[in-house]
Amino acid sequence: MDGHRMNGRSERTGPTGVDDAALDREIESLLGAEPSPEFVARVRARVAEGPEPGQWWMSWVLAAGAVAVVIVAVMAWPSREPVSFVREPVQTARVEAVEPVVPPVVAAQTPARSQPSTPGRKSGVVAAATERRIDIDLPEVVIADNEVKTFAALVASLRQSRFDAPVPAAPDAVTRLEIKELPPVEPLEIEPIVKVAALQSEGERP
Amino acid sequence: MHERADRLAGNIVTVDENLAREFEARLVESSTLAFRVAFSVLRQREDAEDVAQEAFAKAYRSFRQLRDRDRFRAWLVRMTWRMALDRHRANRRRLARDGAEAGLQTRLARESGDVVLENERAEQLWQAIDTLPEKLRLVIVLAGIQGHDIREVATLLDVPDGTVKSRLFLARKQLRERLSWMATE
């Protein structure tokens, strides 16, 4: 051991007259401090206060698991983004020729009635429906079965570069649509507008 | 079923007992090493003991990965050294904040009055060691503790023997230069 150590130590002497061996002895005496007799006992007590070896990481695993659950819950929560009508050019071009998307309640009440075409609004609705989920508190949309089939046939024909313009079949009398009642509309009261300036200019007093 | 559970529980207890026994052996053989490593940085007995205790507590938490003797001692030395440096810096910051930086050396000497700091020569040597780069300082300290030879220091630092030799050479050279400069001051 000492022999090995001597290999790393040259017997050189510096300007202060200290050779390596003397320097090492001085350093050893500097570092020769001993811990107090109670030191080992205190270490034992401190170790005994802490967790068992290998168990301390369990708390970290539990904490990481909890964080992962929270992240998954946040990601799975339905988005609350505002409704935006983003138009997709391709979809809009194809839907232009489609019969207007009739609101379900109206369609169910008057199936044969046609409405004036409003292409911008239609394409907006369709595009929005395909774009993202609209999460607003609206009544459930119900579409008559015959209209769904007609629309599907039209889309299929357009995909084949044809335009068949199918006529909706008669509504199925067996499957009745369940139409929920709309919330009552409170009557709007508008006060009459008095044109004071106009009356004064005409020489009348209010 | 119950027999099997009892046997399993018995095995678990045995494993824990073995761990505790091994750790006790490591503690007894390495307590002075950890204390001296901390003392070489802090030069205060109480602080050094506190840091060494903390290092042992950390070592116990990771003891399943540190059951090998050499690995344990190397880990303990590095951890103690790092923690002692942190404590030393914190002490200096605290003293500087208290406006007592000027009296640091006086206070250190007073608090560790039973140690070699009373000796002016020893104080010079401490100061010279403090000026060494960290790598050289750690090598010279470990070589000066418990008569460690080059191979033992290399094992503790997980570096080749040649690296220890060259660092020891540089450290001694710089120490001699520093001490001679102090002597002529």
Which residues span the domain enclosing A48? Answer: 39-76
Q: Is A50 within a domain?
A: yes
Residue A70 shares a structural domain with residue A103: no
Q: How far apart are CA B20 and CA B60, in angstroms?
A: 9
Residue B75 shares a structural domain with residue B155: no
Of B87, B110, B133, which residue constitutes the final position of a domain? B110
Question: Which is nearest to A49 in space by CA: B83, B25, B87, B60?
Answer: B60
Write phi, then psi, for B24 (nearest 5 degrees): -60, -40
Of B78, B110, B142, which residue constitutes the final position of a domain? B110
Residue A58 shares a structural domain with residue A100: no
Chain B CB contacts of A37 under 8 Å are none
The interface pTM score, or ipTM, of the predicted complex is: 0.73
Asked whether A141 and A107 are in contact (CB, 8 A), the reply is: no
Of A159, A174, A191, which residue constitutes the final position of a domain? A159
Q: Is A144 within a domain?
A: yes
Q: Is A51 within a domain?
A: yes
Q: How far apart are CA A137 and CA A78, in angstroms?
A: 13
Residue B170 shares a structural domain with residue B96: no
Residue B149 shares a structural domain with residue B182: yes
Three-class SS state of B67: coil
Q: Is A34 on the interface with B (CB under 8 A)?
A: yes
Tens of pLDDT, residue by residue over B122-172, are 888 888 999 999 999 999 999 988 778 899 999 999 899 999 999 999 999
What are the structure tokens assigned to B129, written together? 């060691």
DSSP notation for B38-60: HHHHH--HHHHHHHHHHHHHHHH
Q: Is A62 within a domain?
A: yes
Asked whether A162 and A174 are in contact (CB, 8 A), the reply is: no
Q: Is A150 within a domain?
A: yes
Tens of pLDDT, residue by residue over A66-79, are 999 999 888 887 66
The CATH number linked to B49 is: 1.10.1740
Q: Which of residues 42-61 of A touch B (CB under 8 A)?
A: 42-44, 46-47, 50-54, 56
Compare B84 and A57 and report the one with higher pLDDT: B84
pTM of the model: 0.53
Other CB atoms within a 10 A radius of the CB of residue B133 amount to: 11
Task: Please state which of the ranges B30-39, B74-83, B130-139, B143-152 shows the lowest mean pLDDT.
Answer: B143-152
Q: Is A201 within a domain?
A: no
> Total structural domains in chain A?
2
